[in-house]
Structure 1
Amino acid sequence: MMSELISRTRTAFESAFGAAPAIVVQAPGRVNLIGEHTDYNDGFVLPCAIDYRTVIAARERDDRTVRIIAADYAGAVDEFSLDQPLERVATPMWANYVRGVIDELLKRGLPLKGMDMAVSGDVPQGAGLSSSASLSVAVASLFATLPGLEQLSPIDLALIAQASENNFVGTQCGNMDQIISAAGIEGNALMIDCRSLQTQPVPIPAGAAIMILHSHVERGLVDSEYNTRRKQCEAAASHFGVKALRDVDLPLLEQRGGELDPVVLRRARHIVTENARVLAAADALGQGNLPRMGELMQASHVSMRDDFEITVPLIDQLVDIVKNVIGTAGGVRMTGGGFGGCVVALVPEALVAPVQAAVAEQYRGPKGQQSTIYVCRAAAGAGEVAA
Structure 2
Amino acid sequence: MSELFAASFGFAPVTTVKAPGRVNLIGEHTDYNGGFVLPAAINYYTYIALAPHDDRQLHLVAYNFDNESIRIDLDAEQRHNPDESWPNYVRGVVQELRKKGFVLAGGDLYIAGNVPAGAGLSSSASLEVALIRALLSLSGETIDPTQAALIGQAAENNFVGCNCGIMDQLISARGQENAALLIDCQDLSVRPVSMPADWEILIVHSGVKRGLVDSEYNHRRQQCETAAGFFGQRSLRAVELSQLLAAENQLDELSFRRARHVLTENQRTLIAAEALAAGDLPGLIKVMVESHESMRDDFNITTPAIDTLVKILVDAGAGQAGARMTGGGFGGCVVAVAPTVVIPQLMAAVDADYQARTGCVPTLIRAKASAGAF
State the shift of 1:73 in Å.
2.1
TM-score normalised by L of structure 2: 0.96
| Aligned-residue RMSD, C-alpha | 1.6
Q: How many residues align?
A: 374
State the shift of 1:243 in Å.
2.2
What is residue 62 of structure 1 aligned with on the other side? 54
1:339 is aligned to 2:330:
yes
State the shift of 1:318 in Å.
0.5
Secondary structure at 1:145's aligned position in 2? helix
Map 1:243-262 → 2, pairs under 5 A: 243-262=234-253
CA contact (8 A) 2:51 2:138 kept: no
Map 1:318-357 → 2, pairs under 5 A: 318-357=309-348
What is residue 268 of structure 2 aligned with on the other side? 277
State the shift of 1:218 in Å.
2.6
Separation of aligned partners in 1, 2:273 and 2:244: 23
1:186 pairs with one of 161, 170, 177? 177
1:317 is aligned to 2:323:
no
**Please, which runs of 5 or more residues in structure 1 have no aligned partner?**
1-8
Secondary structure at 2:210's aligned position in 1? coil
State the shift of 1:378 in Å.
0.3
Residue 235 to residue 58, structure 1, CA distance change in 2 (3 Å) = same
Secondary structure at 1:319's aligned position in 2? helix
User: What do the CA deviations read for 1:223-260 (whole angstroms, capped 9, x no partner)?
Assistant: 44112211111111011112211111221112222210
**Please, which runs of 5 or more residues in structure 2 have no aligned partner?**
none
What is residue 236 of structure 1 aligned with on the other side? 227
Once structures 1 and 2 are overlaid, which stretch shifts more, 228-237 or 211-220? Answer: 211-220
Residue 41 to residue 107, structure 1, CA distance change in 2 (3 Å) = same
Secondary structure at 1:63's aligned position in 2? coil
Secondary structure at 2:234's aligned position in 1? coil
Separation of aligned partners in 1, 2:282 and 2:193: 16
1:114 pairs with one of 88, 106, 125? 106
State the shift of 1:172 in Å.
1.1
Separation of aligned partners in 1, 2:357 and 2:128: 31
What is residue 265 of structure 1 aligned with on the other side? 256
State the shift of 1:113 in Å.
0.6
Letter in 2 for 1:180: I
What is residue 87 of structure 2 aligned with on the other side? 95
Secondary structure at 1:363's aligned position in 2? helix
Map 1:214-225 → 2, pairs under 5 A: 214-219=205-210, 223-225=214-216
User: What do the CA deviations read for 1:34-63 (whole angstroms, capped 9, x no partner)?
Assistant: 000001101010000011100000011111
CA contact (8 A) 1:216 1:365 kept: no
1:155 is aligned to 2:132:
no
State the shift of 1:166 in Å.
0.9
Residue 305 to residue 25, structure 1, CA distance change in 2 (3 Å) = same
Letter in 1 for 2:125: A
1:39 is aligned to 2:28:
no
Letter in 2 for 1:171: C
What is residue 3 of structure 1 aligned with on the other side? none
Separation of aligned partners in 2, 1:222 and 1:115: 30
